[in-house]
């Protein structure tokens, strides 16, 4: 068995584990009683989605998925900052 | 080549550890009772579930010779993303926890003493 088939077999084995985690995160994001709960679930899910995209970049052998992971990590930090600003000051800032 | 196999196996071990941490964090986020308790599970999900597999992907792609020159691109991008998550995720969680405490959006249920609430002139104890 060469490296390519070994890596592809491993990634096909790992994808369902990540998918199970995403489903559980989405359940919490839909149920979440308060706004911080929803944002926390979306937050953790998006950081894991960035790791999942980096894994898919190896699986599909396409380098174009990697900048998406960087942008996703920065975007969800911006979501955190804006929601925290709105919750504590009741305004979005300039 | 032996070094390629070593890199691939180390990376796969880190990715597998990260995936298991990810499921544990998701179960914790679903089962814990309120927001401030769920913060612990979310921290496992960001550092253990995103930082560790990204380092694993970075190491694993260096050993994947079939990717060609793309593998350096994947390794560098995954490493930069891992560093960003390592610095930004605790800051984001802290901001969110502070905002939830200030706006009284979430209850502080299993508590012994709450000095922040007392400093704002709230209810003691």
- For the entire predicted model, the pTM comes to 0.89
SS3 of residue B68 by DSSP: coil
Nearest residue in chain B measured CA to CA from A75:
B88
Span of A38-52, B84-98, B106-120 with lowest mean pLDDT? B106-120
| Option in B30, B73, B103 nearest A66 (CB) | B73
Q: What is the pLDDT of residues B62-93, one digit of tens each?
A: 988 888 888 899 999 999 999 999 999 999 99
Q: What is the distance between the alpha carbons of residues A69 and A48, in angstroms, rounded to a whole number?
A: 10
**Domain locations in chain A?**
3-89
Query: Residue B88: its chain A contacts at CB < 8 A?
Result: 73-74, 77
**Domain locations in chain B?**
2-119
The ipTM value here is 0.89
Average pLDDT of chain B is: 88
Task: Give the up-direction half-sphere exposure of residue B115: CA atoms within 13 A in the CB hemisphere.
Answer: 0
Q: What is the distance between the alpha carbons of residues B36 and B53, in angstroms, rounded to a whole number?
A: 26
């Amino acid at each position: 068995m060469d490296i390519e088939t070994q890596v592809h077999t491993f990634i096909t084995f790992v994808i369902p584990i990540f998918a199970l985690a995403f489903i559980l995160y989405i359940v919490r994001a839909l149920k979440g009683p308060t706004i911080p709960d929803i944002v926390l679930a979306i937050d953790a899910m998006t950081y894991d989605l960035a790791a999942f995209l980096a894994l898919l970049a190896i699986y599909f052998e396409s380098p174009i998925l990697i900048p998406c992971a960087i942008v996703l990590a920065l975007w969800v930090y911006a979501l955190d900052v804006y929601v925290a600003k709105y919750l504590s000051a009741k305004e979005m800032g300039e | 080549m032996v070094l390629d196999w070593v890199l691939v196996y180390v990376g796969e071990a880190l990715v597998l550890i990260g995936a298991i941490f990810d499921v544990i964090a998701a179960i914790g986020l679903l089962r814990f009772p309120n927001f401030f308790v769920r913060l612990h599970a979310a921290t496992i999900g960001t550092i253990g579930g995103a930082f560790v597999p990204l380092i694993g992907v970075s190491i694993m792609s260096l050993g994947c010779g079939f990717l060609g020159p793309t593998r350096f691109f994947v390794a560098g991008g995954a490493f930069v993303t891992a560093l960003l998550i390592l610095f930004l995720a605790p800051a984001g969680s802290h901001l969110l926890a502070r905002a939830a405490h200030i706006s009284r959006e979430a209850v502080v249920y299993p508590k012994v003493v709450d000095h922040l609430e007392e400093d704002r002139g709230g209810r003691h104890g």
